[in-house]
Chains A and B, each alone.
Chain A
């Protein structure tokens, strides 16, 4: 991956409507990188399934791994899922703000695409204390689990309806 051509990777973050992948397929996009989407890994699971239907094989990364792709100048564009939008920005799946700010620092376009679902604003502490069903955190530790966050308009290049 680190030896790929500069600006070749399309990053997809959050649970997006499957139609995004029709658009990407039409553009003959091959290097699609999907972020796993803690706490429930829903984004990874949904996007992988939707991509498989279109015979596209994505590369999965953890949510903390996008930065290195920007640093290495590999990212061509970013797609974030949003649940609602207005003139000030969009309510995106958690993690969207990280990619939006990285996009700004590296001058990479950040597109937002409808999620087609409404999630809760906050998960429960226990969601983050386990991974893939296995308890990982010590007893007594609390978790904070925001599931969505606001991405201000200044970071968004284009909103898709």
Chain B
């Protein structure tokens, strides 16, 4: 039995509502936001209350919500509602491949309609089955990550890998492997400082926090021997997008001959990283922190949420098939 991190499965249905872990409150508090419809789901995504794998869970569970909310609708109206839900989720944030997930659900609804199946139970059952499959595959990947990590490893990670790395760390601990993690703080939302440091510590792993600008020093001084990161979107040629800062880590890892591993969800919908839309967020999210301006005087800000890592910088992709 693998010890589970709250970040591994940060959204779930309970009593007809969706509960989404508010990642912005960690490590101060573990709190779940109640989501009742598509509009509220889009808001938790846009406000970055959840991210990465959490978005995937929110998408699937939002369809469960809308199927439940649409019990009184005709089949045609329900399909229309499902398409509207897909459209709203697809437009929530640009980089994560929402449409690749929502199109699966729309496809099931259309199949149910075409084959005259009872739409709500058919799609609901498929979503539950799909979620179970993904859960199983992610747990398998946790074991793969644990096998990749060797006794004595010092691992650099960036942003947050949605529970999987921390759970692999717990397995390594049970196996009495001596390992150490360096987590980058990951400006501007500081997911490394808030989420990764928290969950690694909860899993009993040794973790040291570093600034995003310290990765070169760590590598040049041979303080890390592996890099493991997550990803938000993959391309047919093996390029991937992840939290801003991943590209420079990958370039430095190549320069210092440090193996660079990425957890991916392969997709051939996009040809190469050049085609991935990079989300540019409000610069105020960078220029202010906890309601306080970080720099006085006149200054502009630029906040790209993601960057792209070309496949030539990747040592190995540890993939799970989500299709």
Contact = CB atoms under 8 A, between A and B. Distances in A.
Co-assembled chains A and B = yes
Interface of A: 1-2, 33-39, 41, 44-45, 48-49, 52, 57-68, 70-71, 94-98, 100-102, 104-105, 128-129, 131-134, 136-138, 140-146, 149-150
A29 to B, nearest CB: 15
Contacts of B27: 137-138
Given A48-B296, A67-B251, A128-B209, A101 B197 contact: no
A17 B304 CA distance: 28
20 contacts: A37-B213, A57-B298, A58-B299, A60-B301, A63-B213, A64-B187, A68-B307, A70-B248, A95-B213, A95-B216, A97-B217, A97-B220, A97-B252, A105-B251, A132-B289, A134-B290, A136-B190, A138-B194, A141-B209, A144-B209
Contacts of B251: 67, 101-102, 105
Interface stretch (B1-9, B127-135, B178-186): B178-186
A64 B184 contact: yes
Given A65-B244, A67-B245, A146-B217, A45 B296 contact: yes
Nearest to A141: B197
A83 to B, nearest CB: 14
B217 A149 contact: yes
Contact of A60 (B198, B289, B300): B300
Given A132-B294, A142-B208, A142-B209, A57 B299 contact: yes
Contact of A62 (B198, B214, B286, B306): B286
A125 B304 CA distance: 28
B295 A131 contact: no
B94 interface: no
Q: Which 10 A-B pairs have the closest CB atoms?
A: A64-B245, A95-B213, A97-B216, A67-B248, A62-B187, A67-B247, A38-B211, A138-B27, A63-B213, A64-B212
Q: Is the interface of B mostly helix, strand, loop or mixed?
A: mixed
B297 interface: yes
Contact of A64 (B182, B217, B248, B297): B248
Contact of B201 (A64, A136, A140, A149): A140
Contacts of A63: 187, 211-213, 245
Q: Is the interface of A mostly helix, strand, loop or mixed?
A: mixed
A139 B301 CA distance: 31
Highest count of chain A CB atoms <10 Å: which of B187, B194, B210, B299: B299
A58 to B, nearest CB: 6
Given A44-B295, A94-B213, A64 B244 contact: yes
A101 B194 CA distance: 28
